[in-house]
């Protein structure tokens, strides 16, 4: 029983570490006007306002705003 809890805890810690790392890398890339690496593009998330796109990551969402006109 204790071994199973240890394995589950280790897997959970690894997932949290990977999620944090993926988020920080994608956040840095988006701040530098580059596309995120660890996200999946949502084809239904493309808007007809000039090319705004949605990307989904491991527990986070990135919206890339590309509008033609700003009012």
Q: Where are the alpha helices (DSSP H) in 1-71?
A: 2-31
Angle made by CA atoms 29, 33, 38, in degrees to the nearest 5: 35
Q: How far is CA 31 from CA 7, 10, 48, 66, in A?
A: 36, 32, 23, 14
pTM for this entry: 0.72
**Does residue 71 register a pLDDT over 70?**
no
Q: How much is the average pLDDT of 52-57?
A: 86
Q: Where are the domains of the chain?
A: 2-64
**Does residue 45 register a pLDDT over 80?**
no
| Confidence at 1, pLDDT banded by 50, 70, 90 | confident
Cα(23)–Cα(18) distance, integer angstroms: 8
Q: How much is the average pLDDT of 13-18?
A: 94
Question: What pLDDT, in 10s, does the model give residues 30-43?
Answer: 889 888 999 998 87
How many CB atoms within 10 Å of residue 11?
10
């Amino acid at each position: 029983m204790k071994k199973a809890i240890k394995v589950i805890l280790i897997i959970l810690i690894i997932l949290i570490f990977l999620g944090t790392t993926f988020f920080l890398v994608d956040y840095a890339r988006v701040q530098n006007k580059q596309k995120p690496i660890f996200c999946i593009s949502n084809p239904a998330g493309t808007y007809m306002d000039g090319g705004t796109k949605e990307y989904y990551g491991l527990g986070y969402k990135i919206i890339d705003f590309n509008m033609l006109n700003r009012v």
